[in-house]
Amino acid sequence: MGELRGTHVPVLLERCLELLAPALALPGAVHVDFTLGLGGHAEAVLERHPDVVLIGLDRDTEALAHSRRRLSRFADRTHLVHAVYDELPAVLTDLGHRVFHSGLFDLGVSSLQLDVADRGFAYAQDAPLDMRMDQTTGMTAADVLATHGEGDLRRIFERYGEEKLAGRYARAIIAARATQPIERSGQLVEILQAATPAAVQRAGHPAKRVFQALRIEVNAELTAVERAIPAALGSLRVGGRIVVLSYQSLEDRIVKREFADASSSTAPAGLPFEPPEHAPRFRLLVRGAELASDEEQARNPRAKPVRLRAAERVRDEQTGEAS
């Protein structure tokens, strides 16, 4: 494992703990950390709730190894599992649980992934273009750049990076790879810089959006979020709570949509009353999306783009239970 440079400060830690506290106080509470990472949020939950059992998931084996050491003093009530977060229902069953009480998604890249240069996530450091969160499987960013056609690359940069120069960058990559394979982040940054017209006034680094887009493609991140949120909501027990921290608008849009669906009545319009079986399954705990305070954003740059959404399960349509 590479050396860890920055110290990781969990984002919106106190707010997450406050929102989850009533669920963590339920008898026999099981807390699922869907994105265990370096275990910062999970450690705080375990410290403050001595009876809570933790199930921690991560697709990154390095992150799991780090958290396993960090949380070793809680080993008798933690289960750390190498899994993609949409696999939760199967993980729960394997561990003998049907439902969970409290859940946290802290989406995005961990400081381990960003700070360890050899993972290739950061455009500021020259490294092999890997970008896989799970290094045991799948295509790397270099594979994507070597094999995708111009149209596919353009679509990836447009869709996942919201990059206005997507077509120009895709063309430049196709031209560059004809002479030399693009294997390092430094090479890609040079190609993108050369393809950016001097006259274009740009907010931020020219490589920022392309790197984000490649990371989302390599890890199929949006598909995983699209599957994971409904799966998680479906396994949360009545009175249970879930908090999601998103760091880019594409993810936040998915979370917003899933939460809105789950917290809406399914009664046909025009009925004089709401039949109980059509009542919302969830209640939103915050209005819209919450941001980190100015003070936290100044202290922790990772908190700048965060959007927090939270919900509580109020009805189980299978069992008829309601709170």
Binding of residue 74 to ligand SAM (CB under 6 A): no
Query: What x-and-dash track marks residues 28-47 binding ligand SAM by CB under 6 A?
Result: -------x-xxxxx------
- Exactly one of 19, 46, 60, 308 binds ligand SAM (CB under 6 A); which one? 60
Binding of residue 57 to ligand SAM (CB under 6 A): yes
Please report, as residue ranges, which positions from 230 to 289 form the binding site for ligand SAM (by CB under 6 A).
none
Of the listed pieces 22-30, 104-112, 137-145, 306-314, which binds ligand SAM according to CB under 6 A? 104-112
State the Cα angle at 200 between 194 and 202, rounded to 5°. Answer: 95
Binding of residue 84 to ligand SAM (CB under 6 A): yes
Write down the least CB distance from residue 245 to ligand SAM, Å. 8
Which residue, 40 or 240, is less far from ligand SAM as judged by CB? 40
Write down the least CB distance from residue 306 to ligand SAM, Å. 10
Q: Report the first-to-last Cα separation within the chain, whole angstroms.
A: 46
- The torsion region of residue 39 among left (phi > 0), alpha (psi -120 to 50) and beta comes to left
Write down the least CB distance from residue 270 to ligand SAM, Å. 41
Binding of residue 115 to ligand SAM (CB under 6 A): no
Euclidean distance between CA atoms 175 and 171, whole angstroms: 6
Euclidean distance between CA atoms 126 and 188, whole angstroms: 9
Binding of residue 209 to ligand SAM (CB under 6 A): no
Of 108, 163, 71, whose CA–CA distance to 302 is shortest?
108
Which residue, 33 or 316, is less far from ligand SAM as judged by CB? 33
Q: 146 vs 142, 176, 308, CA distance in Å?
A: 6, 10, 36
Write down the least CB distance from residue 252 to ligand SAM, Å. 14
Of 234, 217, 100, 210, whose CA–CA distance to 161 is shortest?
210
Binding of residue 108 to ligand SAM (CB under 6 A): yes
Amino acid at 164: K
List strand residue ranges (DSSP E) for the chain, in order.
30-33, 53-58, 78-82, 100-106, 236-246, 282-284, 307-313
CB atoms within 10 A of CB 107: 22
Which residue, 108 or 240, is less far from ligand SAM as judged by CB? 108
- Exactly one of 23, 106, 215, 254 binds ligand SAM (CB under 6 A); which one? 106
Which residue, 17 or 191, is less far from ligand SAM as judged by CB? 17
Of 259, 249, 247, whose CA–CA distance to 309 is shortest?
259
Which position's Cβ is nearest ligand SAM?
37
Euclidean distance between CA atoms 155 and 140, whole angstroms: 18
CB 66 within 8 A of CB 38: yes
Write down the least CB distance from residue 55 to ligand SAM, Å. 12
Binding of residue 110 to ligand SAM (CB under 6 A): yes
Binding site for ligand SAM (CB under 6 A): 8, 10, 35, 37-41, 57-60, 63, 84-85, 106, 108, 110, 133, 224
